[in-house]
Amino acid sequence: MDATPIPASTPLRIGTRGSALALWQANFVRAELQQRGWPAQLAIITTSGDRHSARLRAMGGKGLFTKEIEEALLEHRIDLAVHSLKDVPAELPAGLVLGAIPPRADPRDVLLAHDGRTLARLPNCARVGTSSLRRQAQLLHRRPDLAIVPLSGNIDTRLRKWRDGDAAAIVLAAAGLDRLQADAAISERFEPADFLPAAGQGALAIECRAGDAAVLARLSALHHAASACAVAAERRVLEALGAGCHTALAAYADFHQGDLRLRARLFSPDGRDCLEAEARRPAPELDDAAARKLGDRVAESLQRQGAARLLALAINPPAPSLP
């Protein structure tokens, strides 16, 4: 392990995308480090996801927002990287680790609709914008009459498209809007019982080189063990099922009555079929390995229920029937 000390006066180089939300997240981590006496500076890196946001699903999606930043880490051009955890693939490149998971923000999805309407009050056949297959399936599961329209881009772009009338409503992550103080337009925050979030949603991931002892030691001060256990369980469900952004899989873990409770739902793309699984483990017994075992239990339950069929549907959807 590289234990070469970093001089206190040498700024840590933080790799980040250049979107407003990514910069907020990176500046949050920089401030946390600087409060502890460790200077840091940002290095803005353009990713494949930034260049091809309209084609994410066709290109594979997850990992496109991290690839070039991870390359910079491996090439020692930066010392750490800050990501939205839900954008980070379950399997990291060799030589990289998640050095810290700070306290998780609101994990929920939210609806933004004109006139402050809730999902139940949207007009029949209303156009709802989302680029997420998971959100699409859950919307159609609750409201099969809705017309789902693809809506990609960063938060500002999607808000502008919605305000310009591209859709009657859009679904976004609460955490991003809260962080950018753009939450005034939210008309409904979905409770997880009704609309399950993506694995890792609301959490930040601070990634670094596995052998960089000096950086790992500093990041340990930013780590929140409870949040890390919850998202480790969620991400293990995706990993065990081989699922990515092309699948309508939702997973969420929270602490309930002294247990870590993990819930997952797998949908067909049209929302008609839904498989559900839940497992719990006493919180005092938790560490990363135990959280991952909880994820394995939930994934195995979904597999027994026929997850392979719904996963295949997401990858190769049936052709539309002729009129």
Active-site residues: which are they? Answer: 87
Is the CB of residue 196 less than 8 Å from the CB of residue 138? yes
* 8 A C-beta contact, residue 250 and residue 302: no
- The region that residue 236 occupies, defined by phi over 0 for left and psi between -120 and 50 for alpha, beta otherwise, is alpha
Distance, CA of 82 to CA of 204 (rounded, Å): 7
267: amino acid identity, one letter: F
CA distances in angstroms from 30 to 40, 103, 140, 228, 236, listed in the order given: 6, 15, 40, 20, 29
Residues 136 and 146 sit within 8 Å (Cβ to Cβ):
no
162 touches 182 (CB < 8 A): no
Tokens at 181, concatenated: 């103080």
